[in-house]
Structure formats: C-alpha cells, structure tokens
Amino acid sequence: MDEDDIHDDDMDDDDDDSEEDEEDLPEFKITELNRQDKDEEAGSGGDILVQEKMIPSLAELVAFANKEHRPLSFEECVLKKVRVHETGVDISFEESLFTEIVRFDKAVFAGSLGFWETCFDKKAQFHGAVFKEAVSFDECLFRSGVNFENAVFENKATFTSCVFEGDLRFDNARFAADADFSQSTFRGRVVCRDARFERSADLANTTFEHPPDTNGSNLAEAQEIPAPVQEPPRKPYRKKGKKKREFNPWHELDKASKKTMTRRHLLRGLFRFLPEDKEES
C-alpha cells in the first residue's frame, strides 16, 4: 500500500485528536435495563431500546444483549468508547453520534447491523469484519476515514445517500451478495484493490471527487449485472419508546385562521370537492 494509505496504526494515533462533539445527555447505566424489564407488561425478552443517552461503553450493552438474545436499538444517542468483537443479535443506530474511533475490526456480526442518519465523528475501523446478515448505512456522515479492508459481506451491503469526507477502503473485501452505493458522495479517495463482487454493485447517482482505485477488482463488471428488485432495509420493529410525531397539516395552520373558520370551510377552499352546507331552517 502507499505510505499515505489508511492503516490500523494511523487510526490509533487519532484517539486524542480534536475535541469531542458531545451533547449534554444523561449517561446510560446497565442497571437501567433491569428497570426497563420491570416496566414491560409481558416481562423481559423484548427489544432493548436506548434513547437520548450517552453510552460510555458499547461493548457492555452488546454483551448483555448477546446473553439475553435480545435485539439492541439506539435512538439519538452519543456513543463514546466503541470496541466490539462479536454480536449475535440485530443492532441498529438511528440519528446517533459516534464521538471516538469506532473499532469493529475483526468483529463477527451474526445479526443484522443498521445505521440510519448517524454521524461518525472520527475514523471507523471495520478491518477484517464478517457480516453474516445484512448491513445498512443510510444517510450517514463519515467525517474521517473508513476501513473495510479484508471484510466479508455474506448478505446485502447498503451504503445509500451517505457522505464520505475521508478515505474509504475496501481492499481484498468480498461481497457475496448485492452491494448498493447509490446516491452517495465520496469526497476522499476510494480504494478497493482486489475486492471481489460476486453479485451486482449499484453506483447509480454516486459522486466521486477522486477517481476510485479499482486495481485488481471486478467492480466494473459487477456494475453491469442487473440487481434484483428488493425492498429497502426495514428498521427494527419497536414495541415501545418515543414516537415521532407525524406531520399534520392542520396543526401547522395559522392559529388565527382556526379561530375564524371551521375545518370544513378550510378544506372546501383547499380541495373544492366537499358539498355546500345545507342552510339551517
């Protein structure tokens, strides 16, 4: 590799770099899971949902989820120390922030892994990781380098509508199923030397600020294979937790207007399909 390529040692040097962009969130403690189980009407055994918390150590939560065989979901969380070697359950992150270097190197993910609208503030290391189920990155921001060297994707790998500000490496990676990079922007270098794509690779509407290095890979041939029609990645079902308010145009109307006209009159003016009110006798 070139001297300026991303290496494991390079990632270790950045532990104490720039200041962490943390939000003022309460720290999550593992004892909270016991209280969460007591609140469940049906008892323990459901999904573990963590919302709006600062996670000091992801490994502790993953170990608990693995032991209990319970899917793990994070929403609007800030994660600090991230070093995981093995997961046996589905894990998802939504609108969350990783403030330190993410270390999933040589990890084995037996369950699905999903990231939605999540930001990686420092480098993300997936060197030698094995993804046995689907892995999804949707509308994520990577502010530094990402390393998937020697990674194995046994199921579909999705990197859609993401922004990669640093270098992205897939050297010697193997994609056993479809790979989707559509709608993503690559501002750093993309290197996938000797990467193998056994199914299709979707690069529709992608933006590369530097020509990708595909030496020894079959990426060009994989782009010509038509991908089967598939449904988008489904977010894990959650029984409880904070529900996001759906958009309701009536609530967004001017309050003064609601005082001076009825909903029926307003809708008649907007859509012009409701029958006229009958005159009162």
Q: Please tell me the pTM assigned to this model.
A: 0.72
pLDDT over threshold 90, residue 24:
no
Rounded CA separation 157/271 (Å): 44
pLDDT band at 117 (very low <50, low <70, confident <90, very high): very high
List the Cα angle 26/52/74 in 5-degree steps.
125
Question: Residue ranges per domain, the chain?
Answer: 8-223
Nearest Cα to Cα of residue 95 among 80, 75, 120, 122: 75
For the chain, percent of residues with pLDDT exceeding 70: 67
Span 146-185, pLDDT tens digits: 999 999 999 999 999 999 999 999 999 999 999 999 999 9
Look at residue 108 and give its three-state secondary structure.
strand
> Across residues 258-272, what is the average pLDDT?
49
**Are 148 and 127 within 8 A, CB to CB?**
yes
> Across residues 113-125, what is the average pLDDT?
97
